[in-house]
């Protein structure tokens, strides 16, 4: 194999070679690019394969019915099977330190059967082991499945240092599925100095005995997603003790960007302790940025706190639609929401322990997190408490704006904001949002318990006549008269009392034309757009303004001249 730019066919009959390991080994140090075409069959590699990409870009493409074919056959694939061996990894891909970065692409391949050497739980990367400065793409329905290891049942990826970062990208309906880890990272274990891009495929039905059922991120690992339009992309039905979908510990950013036609899904993941969908914990040395843009958390579970989201320490999490995403039509996601937390469950407790929650934001050494939720539907969840914050900072807190909170079922309350008394807490906001139509399992269930924490409710509708409005709350509440409630007795009336009355919301949680929430607040107080991304300040001509033309709640009633046609004849 001395020639450059090789195209090599491998299969049991009619091909250049029959031994895949021989071909892979022979490309070491040979400049390329190279393509290995695999006949549609199973290649048994009990001792695994080691591909050195230091010298060339390499593509391995499966699914050829015959080695004389120029294109793969529809519905066909090739299987690399490491069952029965002791090497531990089915396919190891690496590059020498400080070598030029090269691309390795796997297409129409299944990698399976990797197991930990000698049963050791300390080794990693059952299906794929990616080390050094190499960019690996899983493309055209490539599957990493039915592997196991100590860490990274499906994939372990790690770099030598900041100048030798590997990258794994998942595209074109590829998947990392049904793998297991005895420790962490059932699907993917990203150790350090590496990046994982989940752009057009899934990490599904993986299991870790400890943390990160789908993905485990450690130290300086980066997880990034820019969802391919029309794809099904995300983490589905993974399991672990903590972080059923994702567990991250470190300071590197985690950024998810769904598409207006296809969100990033975190669905059906389960944690036997905390963080059903995602759990993020910071490390000393800086704050961790988590941006969840056009994402949907649906059907995740945790045995205690954070059925959907759990953040602890110096973590700054933002959840909202990506800029420009207005009304979305995602399957089983109501209210045309582009960002949603739907149907997540933390089992009810007997009240003697810390409450189970759907969203958890807690202080942990060295610091406090911030949680910013905007234009998000928080619907049909079930837990002791919908949102629980343990606050210990004057600078970081909880901010909810332009969101719908409805049809949730709780035992204790909707929002519990506890603060450690030796610290002056920051002001928290639930502004320009609609809180209505939720249900309770106990007579004492409350809407808000915020203790000494100041709370800003400007622009919101808080209409829960069957709930206790405020419990254990001594902190100030501000609203400037831009607040609609069911009972004024629970809410401060100085300098201006809140408005009282039934908001008369329709099935889409928008106010009706006769609602007392119409045309209440000044434009300068309001955000530019509402829950749907529509402009605020639609002035209804038949409704006198109170302080201005902006409606209360998450959704602005758009102007429709047919509503007032009789008044303008």
pLDDT in tens, 383-392: 999 999 988 8
The per-residue b/e assignment along 475-489, b for 16 or more CB within 10 angstroms, e otherwise, is: bebbbbebbbbbeee
Is the predicted pLDDT of residue 394 greater than 90, yes or no? Answer: no
User: So what's the pLDDT on residue 372?
Assistant: 98
Cα gap 457→248, rounded to integer Å: 32
Cα gap 85→471, rounded to integer Å: 61
Longest dimension (CA), the chain: 88
The 3-class secondary structure across 112-161, one letter per residue, is ECCCCHHHCCCCECCCEEEECCEEEEEECCCEEECCEECECCCEEEECCC
Residue 294 confidence class, pLDDT cut points 50, 70, 90: very high
The per-residue b/e assignment along 374-394, b for 16 or more CB within 10 angstroms, e otherwise, is: bbbbbbbbbbbbbbbbbbbbe
Q: Which residues contact 147 (CB under 8 A, 6 or more apart)?
A: 82, 90, 111, 112, 113, 114, 115, 126, 127, 153, 154, 179, 180
Q: Which residues contact 229 (CB under 8 A, 6 or more apart)?
A: 259, 260, 261, 262
Least confident span in 425-439, 447-461, 532-546, 554-568: 554-568
Residue 148 confidence class, pLDDT cut points 50, 70, 90: very high
Per the CB < 8 A criterion, the answer to whether 227 and 261 are in contact is: no
C-alpha angle 267/146/47, rounded to 5°?
A: 150
Cα gap 79→96, rounded to integer Å: 27
Closest CA to 556 of 316, 527, 230: 527
Per the CB < 8 A criterion, the answer to whether 279 and 246 are in contact is: yes
Looking at 4-71, which runs of residues are DSSP E strands?
Answer: 7-10, 34-39, 42-44, 49-52, 58-64
Computed over every residue of the chain, the mean pLDDT equals 93
Residue 379 confidence class, pLDDT cut points 50, 70, 90: very high
Digit-coded pLDDT (tens) for 113-127: 998 754 444 568 999
Residue 424 confidence class, pLDDT cut points 50, 70, 90: low
Per the CB < 8 A criterion, the answer to whether 415 and 448 are in contact is: yes
Q: How many residues does the chain have?
A: 569
Residue 366 confidence class, pLDDT cut points 50, 70, 90: confident
Across-strand partners of 373? 319, 400
What is the arithmetic mean of pLDDT over 537-543? 90
User: Within a 10 A sphere around the Cβ of 441, how many other Cβ atoms?
Assistant: 12
Digit-coded pLDDT (tens) for 131-141: 999 999 999 99
DSSP state, 368?
-
Q: Can you say whether the dihedral through the CA atoms of 350, 355, 359, 364 is positive or negative?
A: negative
Digit-coded pLDDT (tens) for 489-533: 888 877 889 999 999 999 999 999 999 999 999 999 999 999 999
User: So what's the pLDDT on residue 504?
Assistant: 97
Is the predicted pLDDT of residue 569 greater than 60, yes or no? Answer: no
User: So what's the pLDDT on residue 312?
Assistant: 96
What pTM was estimated for this model as a whole?
0.95
Residue 323 confidence class, pLDDT cut points 50, 70, 90: very high
User: So what's the pLDDT on residue 354?
Assistant: 82
User: So what's the pLDDT on residue 472?
Assistant: 86
User: So what's the pLDDT on residue 208?
Assistant: 98
Q: Which residues contact 494 (CB under 8 A, 6 or more apart)?
A: none
SS3 490: helix
């Amino acid at each position: 194999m001395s020639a450059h730019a090789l195209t090599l066919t491998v299969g049991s009959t009619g091909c250049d070679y029959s031994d895949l390991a021989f071909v892979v080994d022979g490309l070491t140090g040979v400049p390329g690019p190279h393509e290995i075409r695999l006949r549609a069959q199973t290649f048994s590699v009990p001792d695994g394969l080691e591909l050195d990409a230091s010298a060339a870009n390499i593509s391995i493409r499966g699914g050829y019915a015959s080695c004389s074919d120029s294109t793969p056959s529809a519905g066909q694939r090739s299987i690399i099977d490491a069952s029965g061996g002791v090497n531990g990894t089915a396919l190891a891909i690496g590059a020498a330190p400080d070598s030029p970065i090269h691309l390795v692409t796997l297409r129409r391949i299944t990698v399976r059967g990797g197991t930990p050497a000698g049963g050791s739980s300390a080794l990693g990367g059952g299906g794929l082991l990616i080390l050094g400065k190499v960019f690996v793409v899983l493309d055209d329905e490539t599957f990493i499945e039915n592997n196991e290891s100590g860490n990274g049942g499906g994939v372990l990826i790690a770099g030598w240092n900041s100048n030798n970062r590997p990258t794994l990208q998942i595209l074109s309906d590829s998947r990392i599925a049904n793998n297991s880890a005895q420790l962490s990272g059932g699907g993917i274990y990203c150790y350090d100095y590496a990046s994982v891009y989940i752009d057009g495929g899934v990490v599904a039905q993986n299991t870790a005995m400890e943390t990160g059922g789908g993905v485990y991120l450690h130290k300086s690992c980066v997880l990034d997603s820019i969802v391919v339009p029309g794809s099904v992309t995300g983490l589905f039905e993974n399991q672990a003790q903590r972080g059923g979908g994702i567990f991250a510990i470190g300071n590197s950013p985690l950024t998810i960007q769904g598409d207006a036609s296809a969100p990033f899904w975190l669905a059906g993941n389960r944690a036997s302790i905390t963080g059903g969908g995602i759990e993020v914990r910071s490390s000393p040395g800086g704050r961790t940025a988590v941006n969840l843009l056009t994402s949907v958390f649906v059907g995740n579970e945790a045995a205690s706190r954070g059925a959907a989201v759990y953040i602890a320490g110096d973590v700054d999490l933002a959840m909202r639609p990506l800029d420009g995403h207005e009304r979305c039509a995602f399957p089983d996601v109501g209210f045309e929401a582009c960002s949603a937390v739907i149907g997540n469950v933390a089992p009810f407790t007997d009240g003697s322990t810390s409450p189970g929650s759907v969203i958890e934001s807690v202080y942990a050494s060295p610091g406090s997190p911030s949680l910013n939720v905007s234009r998000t539907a928080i619907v049909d969840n079930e837990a002791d408490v919908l949102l629980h914050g343990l606050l210990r900072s004057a600078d970081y807190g909880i901010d909810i704006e332009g969101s719908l909170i409805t049809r949730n079922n709780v035992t204790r309350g909707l929002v519990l904001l506890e603060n450690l008394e030796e610290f002056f807490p920051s002001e928290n906001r639930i502004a320009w949002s609609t809180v209505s139509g939720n249900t309770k399992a106990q007579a004492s269930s409350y809407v808000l318990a915020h203790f000494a924490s100041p709370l800003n409710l400007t622009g919101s509708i808080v209409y829960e006549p069957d709930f206790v409005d405020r419990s254990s709350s001594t902190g100030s509440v501000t609203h400037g008269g831009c607040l609609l409630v069911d009972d004024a007795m629970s809410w401060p009336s100085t300098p201006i009392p809140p408005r009282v009355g039934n908001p008369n919301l329709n099935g889409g949680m928008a106010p009706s034309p006769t609602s007392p929430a119409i045309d209440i607040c000044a434009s300068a107080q309001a955000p530019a757009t509402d829950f749907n991304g529509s402009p605020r300040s639609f002035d209804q001509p038949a409704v006198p303004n109170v302080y201005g033309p902006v409606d209360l709640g998450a959704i602005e009633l758009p102007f429709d001249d047919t509503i007032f046609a009789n008044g303008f004849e």
